[in-house]
Amino acid sequence: MVIHANGVRLRPFREADVDDLAAGYSEPHAKAYTREDAVHWITHSVPSAWAAGGAAYAIADPATDRLIGGAGINRIVPERGQGEIGYWVARWARRRGVATAAARALSAWAFDRGFSRLELLTDPANAPSQRVALAVGFQREGVRRGAGQGMHGRYDLVVWARLAGDPPGPTRRLLPDLPGGALSDGVVAVRPVGPGDADFLHALLSLPDVAGTSVPPIVPDREEVELRCARAEGWWLAGERADLVIADAATGTPAGTIGIYYEDPRTATAGIGYAMLPAWRGRGMPTRAVRLLARWALGEAGIGRLTAGTLPGNAASQRVLEKAGFRREGYLRGRLPGISGTRVDDVVYGLLAGDVERAQTDRAMIP
């Protein structure tokens, strides 16, 4: 059976697909995928998938019928009406919405044939696949620790699921993407953290005054920082947190970090935090970054309230928050973990959308 979708065609695999399958399934830094592997897949694995009650479709270009990927359903649990959907797209066909179109069409096909629940598993660092899951209406349910097995050992898998009665997507996100991919006022630019930021971020987080106010208050090792950078987009897509780099708008040089983390999605309350490299301190960059991110958070992101905290003696950070419109709201004794098992106090600030508007008005009135 052929499934016609938006810009793709799902059809049975053919012997003529062998060369494109071998080329498309080969990836840098992965185990070599040979022509013999492709032949075995088409002649043995595909029939086995269908015999088990699942599916194994070739994704083809509707204009040329050339193989550009694959999509299927396996790991069938009949008593639950459950299967796991998967897909891949050849390098020459990416960034065209192929995976989204195929996954959406195959999900509809599965539900029409009696499936009640579909799961989709992604590597926490595979943001493109997570974007496909969201676009097709899957909801994130959690993380299975060490559920994946690769060349370098076991790794975690993010679990997504869609039920037969769920809407077709896209799934609503708590944290949308930044407009144009970044925020800027012409002096400071704020952009998402990415895999290329590991050196900078490790240097920043290794500073004693930055590590001492982190939670937990320790210096992370390099491997942990690399993992954090690799998974940053996934956390953003999950609505857990948005980690960003504060950069010089003219040169793009990283100067610090700023982030938003959801404290309570039910009340649309999120926290904000920031840190700067010593060479960039005293230039007003954190204040500009906080203003930029706060306006986005309380506007486009739909967050209702932002909170922030500082150490009681950190007058510089308190001035940053006050200039950005935050109001001091309280003093919490022993709120945060300190070094060597101690506890430290926290001065709490809060910001609402109206506070941002008032702060902008006040700045405009200053001669």
- Report pLDDT digits (tens) over 129-169: 999 999 999 999 999 999 998 877 899 999 999 999 999 88
Residue 287 and residue 347 in one domain? yes
- Which residue, of 138, 163, 188, is where some domain finishes? 163
Based on the domain organization, do 136 and 67 belong to the same domain? Answer: yes
Would you give the distance in Å from CA 189 to the centre of its chain?
20
How much of the chain exceeds pLDDT 90, in percent?
Answer: 86
Domain assignment present for residue 292? The answer is: yes
Nearest-angstrom CA–CA distance, 317 and 187: 19
CATH number of residue 339's parent domain: 3.40.630.30
Domain identity same for 159 and 194: no
pLDDT on residue 260: 97
Strand 153-163 to strand 139-150: parallel, antiparallel, or no bridges (unpaired)? antiparallel
Same domain, 152 and 84: yes
**Residue 32 pLDDT grade (very low, low, confident, very high; cuts 50, 70, 90):** confident
Do 86 and 117 reside in the same domain of the chain? yes
Which contiguous run of DSSP H or E holds residue 163? strand 153-163
Residue-range definition of the domain harbouring residue 343? 179-365
Please report, as a single letter, which amino acid is at residue 157: L
The predicted pLDDT at position 30 comes to: 65
Q: Model confidence over 275-292: pLDDT tens digits?
A: 999 999 999 999 999 999
pLDDT higher than 70, residue 317: yes
Element (H, E) at 227: helix 222-238
**Is 174 among the domain residues?**
no
**Same domain (yes/no): 154, 225:** no
Least confident of 17-26, 145-154, 172-181, 182-191: 145-154
Q: How many CB atoms lie within 10 A of CB 284?
A: 12
171 lies in a domain? no
In a shared domain, residues 245 and 327: yes
Q: What is the pLDDT of residue 153?
A: 86
Q: Are 104 and 5 in contact (CB under 8 A)?
A: yes
Q: Give how many domains the chain has, as a whole number.
A: 2
Find out whether 81 and 115 touch, Cβ atoms under 8 Å: yes
The pLDDT of residue 364:
53
- Please provide the average confidence, as pLDDT, over all residues in the chain: 94
Domain assignment present for residue 170? The answer is no
Q: Are residues 132 and 183 in the same domain?
A: no
Indicate if 218 and 139 belong to the same structural domain: no
First to last CA, the chain: 73
